[in-house]
Amino acid sequence: MDIKNEVLIRVYIVLIGVALFGILLFAQTVRISVVQGEKWRTRGENLYVDSIAVEGERGNIISEDGSLLATSLPFFDIRFDPNSKAMSEKDWDDNIDSLAHCLATYVDNSHTVGGMKERLIEQKENGAQYFLIKRNATYVEKEMMSRFPLFNLGRYAGGFIVESKPKRERPFKQLGFRTIGYIRDGYKPVGLEGYFNDVLGGGRIGVPMFRAPDNNYIPIHDLNEIEPARGDDIVTTIDINLQDISHEALLRGLKYHNAKHGTAIVMEVKTGAIKAISNIGKADGGWFEIYNYGVGAATEPGSTFKLATIMALLEDGHVNLDDSLDIENGKHTFYEEEMLDSAPESFRTDTTTVRRAFEISSNVGMGKLVQQYYGDKKGGDEQFIKRLKDFRLHLPSNIEIKGEAAPYIKTPYSKEDKWSGITLPWMSIGYEVTITPLQLLTFYNAVANDGRMMKPYLVSEIRHFDEAIKKIKPTVIKKQIASPKTIAKAQELLFGVVERGTANKLKSSKYKFAGKTGTAQINYRKFNNQKKNIKYQASFAGYFPADDPVYSCIVVITEPSEHGIYGGEVAGPIFREIADRCIETRPELHKALNEYKKPVLAKHKLPDFDAGKREDVEEVLRYLDFEFENNSESDWTMIRAESDTLEMQNRFVSEDVVPNVVGMGLRDAMFILENGDLKVVVSGAGRVRKQSIIPGTPIEGQTIRLTLN
């Protein structure tokens, strides 16, 4: 019984111990979850591992010649974890002095070495795990710091934390800034960066990171060892030289005319490729690319729209260019609304031709023609609008940039569009319609391209590293926007504007170009006769060279306030400067000399009485591709010009008498004379034109003087 009782006592003791342990465990659980629950929940929220997305390197935007328009450069945030669990106290003590010296000397000289050491010790004592050493360090700086004492032990033993944060850089700064665009948090994507964001953007990888009490995420692993997929590159059609030419010409023009803003676009005629697009506006006392006016701003174009008007009239067979037209000295009334010409007094007349009315940009001429053939005839309104739509002036260009403004063409008799009796005449001169500069240029480019309308585009290729994964070819929007006959007459009219019309002062003697001037009142109100505070938009659209167009170009200047307001004096000179520089810097725009038919040379332009060694003369004539007759049998010969051909005649040289060396080069003359024991004195340069001793005189060791010219 004693043994049994002893066993039971022991069992009871164990049970009581287990019960007490359970009670203590329960009490501790209640204390942690209830009494101290808020404390531990807060700490749990502040200290945990989460997966944070890390993006790969963004692709480059490249010009057509390979120049970088936008690229990502590596920058790094350098941080320090002085409380890393893998860092030994010995390493800390052995290296803290040297580390403080390096940081104070090469990274942050706002602290003394002693001050830097105190700061590092303070961070360690405060439990810091993510102490910022330097923000936006370059690659060279990052590599230098990685060799500092303690840091050289790495991510864990040395607490050296590197965060790669690539920054988007534009090597050419303001050139094409809005076209290249950007991606920014809180803003709509802009330009090519925004449109091709999915292509340029790199892949994403979830990286485990530890969130410290200060809500900073500390990477568990070295981020430099993590490489998400890199984004693809896009190759643009931008020619960086033409972009620079357009930018500088536009900027000079804006400053000279003290304008509000402007745009200049250069397009390749055959393909629709945008070679340059510059948008500059005045802001904060300077000039910047603050908005893409060429793509996003649809305005009333003014007289540049008259090309569409005259082409509609020609296409419907209503007019011939030499038809007579009364423009009433530039003043006509449509339904009590007076229309005026803005042409100079020297262009004012009463009766002229349709051709001349277009060349001098007569508002009255175009307005009367449209009213006569469309406004006063049943169904004419719909027919005129149909023609504008045939020219695709009602459709956007669908360029690879977000935010393109839609063109606006009124619907006949629409109350919403406020169609009225004077809508057609005013549409004919570029009012009551809106269109962007790029959309209008696409139309002019089609005329330059013999009627074939090309889609404007900015990107020609997508690359993954150096491998092309997609090529974007030119796209034909419409094979023929009008009949070849109409297109030919339109080209003739645009050439006439430069040769004889409102752009006459812009024409060049070095090459031919064609185009149309435009001037529009920005705050125009057709029932408001007040002339106060009127502001203007000046434009010029055209192409060059006129006989074989390579580039089309449009320039639009908004609110010029000095040195003129008209298209021919504000936008035209900028167009001309762009065209001049293109012609000068583009060898492909110049024909090779041997492309031209070889002219027949007149006798006075051919070499005559030139003499020399027969073999040498013959070789030179053959090299120059001159036609000649070789009638020379002696070692020396003389060239005679006969009509438009050359004849090689004998030039005899004797050892006994002074030879005739007139017409020879100095080398040949010296050879002959010195071999004949004559002393030679020379004056001048060129060929021998005179000798002091008459040919045929016996040689007696004389001195002969040669005059060269």
The CATH number of the domain holding residue 554 is 3.40.710.10
Average of per-residue pLDDT across 600-627: 71
- When comparing pLDDT for 170 and 145, which is higher? 145
Final residue belonging to a domain, choices 537, 563, 589: 589
514 and 430 share a domain?
A: yes
Q: 292 pLDDT exceeds 70? A: yes
In the chain, % of residues over pLDDT 90: 50
pLDDT level of residue 344 (50, 70, 90 thresholds): low
Q: 332 pLDDT exceeds 60? A: yes
180 and 247 share a domain?
A: no
- When comparing pLDDT for 465 and 592, which is higher? 465
Average of per-residue pLDDT across 375-384: 91
Residue 96 in any domain: the answer is yes
- When comparing pLDDT for 193 and 230, which is higher? 193
369 neighbors 393 (Cβ within 8 angstroms):
no
Residue 72 in any domain: the answer is yes
Give me the number of domains the chain comprises.
3
Q: 216 pLDDT exceeds 70? A: no
Residue 238 in any domain: the answer is no
72 and 206 share a domain?
A: yes
Q: Which residues contact 239 (CB under 8 A, 6 or more apart)?
A: 63, 64, 65, 275, 276
Average of per-residue pLDDT across 269-296: 93
Average of per-residue pLDDT across 145-158: 90
In the chain, % of residues over pLDDT 70: 86
- CA 280, 282, 288: angle at the middle one, nearest 5? 45
Residue 160 in any domain: the answer is yes
Average of per-residue pLDDT across 428-442: 96
pLDDT level of residue 453 (50, 70, 90 thresholds): very high
Range among 20-29, 277-286, 631-640, 674-683 with highest mean pLDDT value = 277-286
Give residue 285's pLDDT: 79
575 and 612 share a domain?
A: no
298 and 343 share a domain?
A: yes
206 and 247 share a domain?
A: no
166 and 311 share a domain?
A: no
Dist. CA 700–CA 690, nearest whole Å: 20
Give residue 42's pLDDT: 55
Average of per-residue pLDDT across 524-529: 51
Residue 46 in any domain: the answer is no
* Residues facing residue 333 across a β-bridge: 338
DSSP string, 524-559: --TT----TT--EEEEEEEEESSSS--EEEEEEEE-
Dist. CA 498–CA 501, nearest whole Å: 6
* Residues facing residue 210 across a β-bridge: 49, 218
455 and 553 share a domain?
A: yes
- What are 219-248's pLDDT values in tens digits? 655 555 556 778 899 999 999 999 999 999
Give residue 699's pLDDT: 83
DSSP string, 682-697: EEESSBEEEESS-TTP
Residue 261 in any domain: the answer is yes
Range among 164-168, 505-509, 531-535, 687-691 with highest mean pLDDT value = 505-509
Give residue 572's pLDDT: 96
Q: Which residues contact 21 (CB under 8 A, 6 or more apart)?
A: none
Q: What is the distance, to the nearest Å, from the Cα of residue 317 to the centroid of all Cα atoms in its chain?
A: 40
- What are 82-136's pLDDT values in tens digits? 988 889 999 999 999 999 999 999 999 888 999 999 999 999 998 888 889 999 8
Q: Which residues contact 324 (CB under 8 A, 6 or more apart)?
A: 351, 352, 353
Residue 156 in any domain: the answer is yes
Check which CATH number belongs to the domain holding 173 and give it.
Answer: 3.90.1310.10
Burial class (CB in 10 A: 0-12, 13-18, 19+), 675: exposed
Host domain of residue 396: 243-589
- What are 534-583's pLDDT values in tens digits? 899 999 999 999 999 999 999 999 999 999 999 999 999 999 999 999 99
DSSP string, 491-527: HHHHHHHHHHSTTGGG--SS---EEEEEEEETT--TT
110 and 179 share a domain?
A: yes
399 neighbors 338 (Cβ within 8 angstroms):
no
Number of neighbouring beta carbons within 10 Å of residue 345:
7
Q: 434 pLDDT exceeds 90? A: yes
501 and 616 share a domain?
A: no
Mean pLDDT of the chain, nearest integer? 86
Final residue belonging to a domain, choices 210, 232, 254: 232
Residue 546 in any domain: the answer is yes
Give residue 45's pLDDT: 47
Final residue belonging to a domain, choices 172, 204, 232: 232
Give residue 222's pLDDT: 56
431 and 501 share a domain?
A: yes
Three-state secondary structure readout of 110-163: CCCHHHHHHHHHHHHHCCCCCEEEEEEECHHHHHHHCCCCCHHHHHHHCCEEEE
Give residue 620's pLDDT: 79
662 and 568 share a domain?
A: no
Give residue 46's pLDDT: 47
Q: 708 pLDDT exceeds 90? A: no
